Amino acid sequence: MKLRLAVSVRSPTQASRKEIENFMKKSVILAAFLLIVNGIIAQNWDYIRTSGEYYYGVGHGATEAEASEMAMADLVSMIATNVSSEFIGIEDDTNTNGNVDHKSKVLNCVRTYSQSTLTNVEKWVIGKEPDVTVRRYMKRSELARIYESRIAKAKDMVWIASEALQKGKIDMALQYYYWAYSLIRSVQRPNDVKDDKGRILVNWLPIKINEIMSDVRVDFEKRDGDFVDLLFTYSGQPISSLEFNYSDGRTMCQGRAKDGRGMMEMVPGYETDTYHISLEYEYKGQARGDNEMQSVLDVISRKVFPKSEMAVNGRGGNGKVAAKKDREKPAAISAIADKAGVNLKPAKSQIVESNEEYAQVLNTVIEAIRTRNYSNANRCFTLDGLDMYNKLISYGTGRITGTPNISFFKGMNGTVVARGLQMTFSFRAGTKKTYVEDVAFTFNADKRIDNVAFGLGQVAENDILCRYAPGWSDETREMLMEFMENYKTAYCLKRLDYIRDIFADDAVIIVGNVVKRQNSQQGERDITLQGQNLIKYNRYTKDQYLENLKQSFARNEFINIRFTNNEVQWLEKYKDKKIFAIQIGQEYNSSRYADKGYLFLLVDITDQNNPQIKIRTWQPNEVSMEKLYNAGDFYSE
């Protein structure tokens, strides 16, 4: 044993004296350095705690993450304690003892910052797992910057709401006015926040919201069994889109009006002369992905707007009709009630005037749907058309609403497209939801229906069919219209094979959602656009995107997409190709998720029978394509 030790370890006399001297010098220097550093650290922490320049918190835990979470909670509590008296706009809650708990309300409010915008908080880790101490601290001056950031975000939302209101987008106007109002109520001194006209926004915004709601009118049209058809106008004009809640006689349900029409589905046997609805304005579901907005809506007390509640007089299940004075309708309401479909104004050259044979076929289909004798219309379809028809009648509970006002358009390659039929659809899983959709039917040369698709909505359809665009032929307009109709329908009716065909194999597919700032992961990039939240863009290959889509289709009972106004550019520099850049407003709803944003597509429609999407992206707010994307730079031959 001694021999082995002697061999494996050199004795001091064998070691170099120079090595020993160097080691001792380094040890002394290291010890001195550690003493200095420890002294500086101790001095700095003492300064942080006593200078009055910092907010700080300390946490202990078995892991760094656990200790850091506790330290952040301690930090937020300290901020809340110090600024509690300065939060003058917070509506105080009353606790179980009947006492007003202002501090708890402020604490919850400050937590909305910790979850989203407390980005400049320093971290100081002491020790190792399983015994870790974490200190979190930030300069008090940072809090003012954070307030300013939230105020700027609220003012951006006011601008978005004002633009939406001018374009008749009542749902978007209500949503962003209310979100801005909630954000301002969560800052330290809401009464100090003014717009460029000097208006105190925390006072002006609720007045504006009430003003919008006062100009919304909801009228009863008719009851068909358990289904109630409603007519929606704003300042006498049909509302493009508006979400509402209603009682079906048992529970609260959700509905969405489109182009002036909405529908409610009552529980079987429920009879009433008055229907109670409330206009949606909080849109908490749309805040998913925006952690700051979501946390604010969870914390700030919901503002009740009496104007949002409406009692609609109408026909009850017993056949009783409302008094005549309640049934009188303004001209705009009567115009909606007299016909279904969209108020398109296409050129005469786009219309098929000799349409009697097409009308006869379509009337057979309409009668089959109306009476629910669906198979009576089977002979009207090709095999492909019959497959789409079966998907349509299986899409929730569908029924025809209003009086069809059909127009027949010249389609692609000698086809004819019938537009103007409106249907309502309801879905019962979870919270009952109802939607209104336009339905288009495409006839082949043999006058049989070869395709069924959902329409885009009045605003989007007029943008394509009727807007001034020099050099655009009727064929070009119809080509774009049919492509967008089929694109929308493919997602609603879960046509994965069709989606696979229309995406190019090398397509750039970017799926975005609003997120708080975080470290980018591989395959992701963070982008900040003026007037927008931070967006996380995930880029996928075609196969990855289709696999995710397949899983989404399986998870959701239904998917509903609504397109609003759009902007289209024809990239004419590619002389031998028809390549279009399309930015279109999209409202996405499913049984599990909902959002609103703008879809950007770069699509090659040179081969009319085989359109190819080259680029697909999404962003939450409307931005000019020249500012957001220079479409011509995306594509090269």
Per-residue pLDDT, 403? 84
Per-residue pLDDT, 614? 92
What 3-state DSSP class applies to 350? Answer: helix
Per-residue pLDDT, 564? 77
Span 502-524, pLDDT tens digits: 999 999 888 765 444 443 343 44
Exposure string for 254-281, b = 16+ CB within 10 A, e = fewer: bbbbbbbbbbbbbeeeeebbebebebbb
Q: What are phi and psi of 579, to 5 degrees?
A: -115, 125
With 70 as the cut, is the pLDDT of residue 101 above it?
no
Span 252-292, pLDDT tens digits: 999 999 888 999 999 998 888 899 999 999 988 777 657 77
Per-residue pLDDT, 13? 45
Strand partners, 351: 409
Per-residue pLDDT, 285? 75
> What is the enclosing helix (H) or strand (E) of 614?
strand 612-619
Residue that has been written with the tokens 């065909």 in this structure: 501
What 3-state DSSP class applies to 442? Answer: strand
Strand partners, 58: 135
Residue that has been written with the tokens 């309640």 in this structure: 326
Span 475-507, pLDDT tens digits: 888 889 999 999 999 999 999 999 999 999 999
Per-residue pLDDT, 544? 94
Per-residue pLDDT, 597? 79
Per-residue pLDDT, 145? 81
Span 381-426, pLDDT tens digits: 999 999 999 999 999 999 998 888 899 999 988 899 999 899 999 9
pLDDT band (50, 70, 90) for residue 35: very low
Average pLDDT over residues 150-176: 88
Span 362-383, pLDDT tens digits: 999 999 999 999 999 999 999 9
CB 400 within 8 Å of CB 369? yes
Per-residue pLDDT, 206? 96
Per-residue pLDDT, 512? 64
pLDDT band (50, 70, 90) for residue 352: confident
Per-residue pLDDT, 623? 57
Q: Which CATH entry fits the domain spanning 494-637: 3.30.1360.70, 3.10.450.50, 3.40.50.300, 3.30.9.10?
A: 3.10.450.50
Q: What are phi and psi of 139, to 5 degrees?
A: -70, 140
Average pLDDT over residues 166-175: 86
- CA–CA distances in Å: residue 347 to residues 354, 410, 468, 536: 16, 11, 11, 42
User: Of 416, 306, 331, 423, which is closest to residue 372 (Cα–Cα)?
Assistant: 423
Domain at 52-139, CATH class: alpha beta
Exposure string for 57-89, b = 16+ CB within 10 A, e = fewer: bbbebeebebbbebbbbbbbbbbbeebbeebeb
State which of 150-164, 323-337, 501-515 shows the largest mean pLDDT: 150-164
Query: How many residues in total does the chain contain?
Result: 637
Span 2-30, pLDDT tens digits: 333 333 334 444 445 555 556 555 555 55
For residues 77 and 132, which has the higher predicted lDDT (pLDDT)?
A: 132
Exposure string for 164-190, b = 16+ CB within 10 A, e = fewer: bbeebbbbbbbbbbbbbbbbbbbbbeb
Average pLDDT over residues 70-87: 78
Average pLDDT over residues 183-212: 92
CA angle 57-191-150, nearest 5°?
50
Q: CA-CA-CA-CA torsion for 365, 369, 373, 377, nearest 10 degrees? A: 20
Per-residue pLDDT, 534? 44
With 50 as the cut, is the pLDDT of residue 152 above it?
yes
pLDDT band (50, 70, 90) for residue 452: very high
The contacts found for 69-78 with CB under 8 angstroms, 24 or more apart, are 70/134, 71/123, 71/134, 71/135, 71/136, 72/114, 72/118, 72/121, 72/136, 74/136, 75/114, 75/121, 75/136, 75/137, 75/138, 76/107, 76/110, 76/111, 76/113, 76/114, 77/107
Q: What is the mean pLDDT of the chain?
A: 79
Residue spans in the chain of domains classed CATH 3.10.28.20: 52-139
With 80 as the cut, is the pLDDT of residue 230 above it?
yes
359/366 Cα distance (integer angstroms): 10
Alpha carbon distance, N-terminus to C-terminus of the chain: 79
Per-residue pLDDT, 636? 43
With 50 as the cut, is the pLDDT of residue 637 above it?
no
Spacing of C-alpha 278 from chain mean position: 21
Q: Which CATH entry fits the domain spanning 344-472: 1.10.10, 3.40.50, 3.90.15, 3.10.450?
A: 3.10.450
pLDDT band (50, 70, 90) for residue 176: very high
Residue spans in the chain of domains classed CATH 3.10.450.50: 494-637
Q: To the nearest whole percent, how much of the chain has pLDDT over 70?
A: 74
- CA–CA distances in Å: residue 158 to residues 176, 202, 208, 401: 6, 12, 11, 36
Lowest mean pLDDT among 95-104, 129-138, 312-321, 567-576: 95-104
Span 519-577, pLDDT tens digits: 334 344 333 333 344 445 678 899 999 999 999 999 998 999 988 777 888 887 667 78
With 50 as the cut, is the pLDDT of residue 204 above it?
yes
605/126 Cα distance (integer angstroms): 62
User: Of 494, 340, 326, 464, which is closest to residue 404 (Cα–Cα)?
Assistant: 340
With 90 as the cut, is the pLDDT of residue 134 above it?
yes
Q: To the nearest whole percent, how much of the chain has pLDDT over 90?
A: 40
Residue 514, C-beta contacts closer than 8 angstroms, at least 6 positions apart: 289, 290, 533, 534, 535, 536, 620
CB 583 within 8 Å of CB 599? yes
568/578 Cα distance (integer angstroms): 12
